[in-house]
Amino acid sequence: MAQYETIRSTAGVRTAEIDEGLKAHMNKVYGTMSVGMLITALAAWAIAGLATTTDPAQAAVQMQNGTLLTGLGAALYTSPLRWVIMFAPLLMIFGFGAVMQRASAAATQLFFFLFATLIGVSLSSIFIVFTSFSIVQTFLVTAIAFAGLSLWGYTTKKDISGWGSFLIMGVIGLLVAMIINIFLQSPAMMFAISGIGVLIFAALTAYDTQNIKNQYLAHAHMGDAEWLEKSAIHGALNLYLDFLNMFQFLLMFMGQQE
């Protein structure tokens, strides 16, 4: 009986350690993601400010909505450089796995922050197209939705791991449709893409949160601190992308143009 009580006590201590470790791990995930979002927002705001001007003498190009672009703005938004800025983050996502395998946790985190900066440059055009009020409003709506979905993914007892393959196929389909619509410029198709995109990334928020939790619980007993550190950064990247994409697709519905 005494031996049973000792085993039960040891198991209880171990469970408490894992629970505390999980909380710290999730705090690392959300903290890294939040820093990434802040970097993106600051980069987008700063670049938008440098790319536009109110002085006609300093303008290189005038947009259809009357916005005056500086030389930097003309290069970013009207020259072939815009395609590089658009697709470079996608290439970095594909390279993230290789970075995780070969680089240290610190280098992996730096890579994530560089990615967030580049996303900010790419996203800076929203300050030219949409009003500041609608951007802030959409961000707050996205933040509330994201928090609720992520909390549900973390706390639910339902196994939603089976969603993964369907959601990934949905993301691939969205990418293909968006690339096609770059050339078609169909408002109806863009509306459909936005609606489906919101649903897909809303589901991915819950799915990724549960997956981050399950991965930690599966590997916590191994004691590999370096792997867990990188896993937290990878989880932050996934949730960052979920939030960012949900924000952009919602902006298509809620955003008021300049």
pLDDT value for 6: 44
Which are the contacts of 216, defined by CB distance < 8 A and separation ≥ 6?
21, 22, 25, 26, 228, 231
Return the pLDDT at 174: 92
Strand order in the sheet with 68-69: 52-53, 68-69, 61-62
Per-residue pLDDT at 33? 97
Structure-token pair, residue 62: 């005038």
Q: Report which secondary-structure segment, H or E, holds 69.
A: strand 68-69
- Residues with Cβ within 8 Å of 199's Cβ and at least 6 positions away in sequence, in order, are none
Cα 70 from chain centre: 29
User: Which helix (H) or strand (E) is 53 found in, with range?
Assistant: strand 52-53
User: To 10 degrees, what angle do helices 132-155 and 187-219 make?
Assistant: 40
**Whats the size of the chain, residue-wise?**
258
Distance CA 258, CA 238 (A): 31
Measured distance CA(155)–CA(19) in Å, rounded? 13
27 vs 22: CA distance, rounded Å: 8
Mean pLDDT by 10 residues, the chain (258 residues): 44 63 93 97 94 84 81 88 86 87 91 95 91 93 96 94 92 91 88 93 97 89 78 95 96 80
Residues 69 and 60: beta-carbon distance below 8 Å: yes
- The one-letter amino acid at 210: Q
Residue among 249, 245, 253 at smallest CA distance from 205 = 245
Please count the structural domains in the chain.
1
DSSP 182: H
| Per-position DSSP letters for 127-146, written without gaps between them | HHHB-HHHHHHHHHHHHHHH
What is the rounded distance in angstroms from the CA atom of residue 116 to the CA atom of residue 35?
Answer: 9
- pLDDT for 38 equals 97
- Looking at residue 136, its pLDDT comes to 93
pTM, two decimals, is 0.89
State residue 11's pLDDT score. 45
pLDDT at 108: 93
Full residue range of the structural domain in which residue 120 is found: 2-254
CA distance 173 to 12: 46
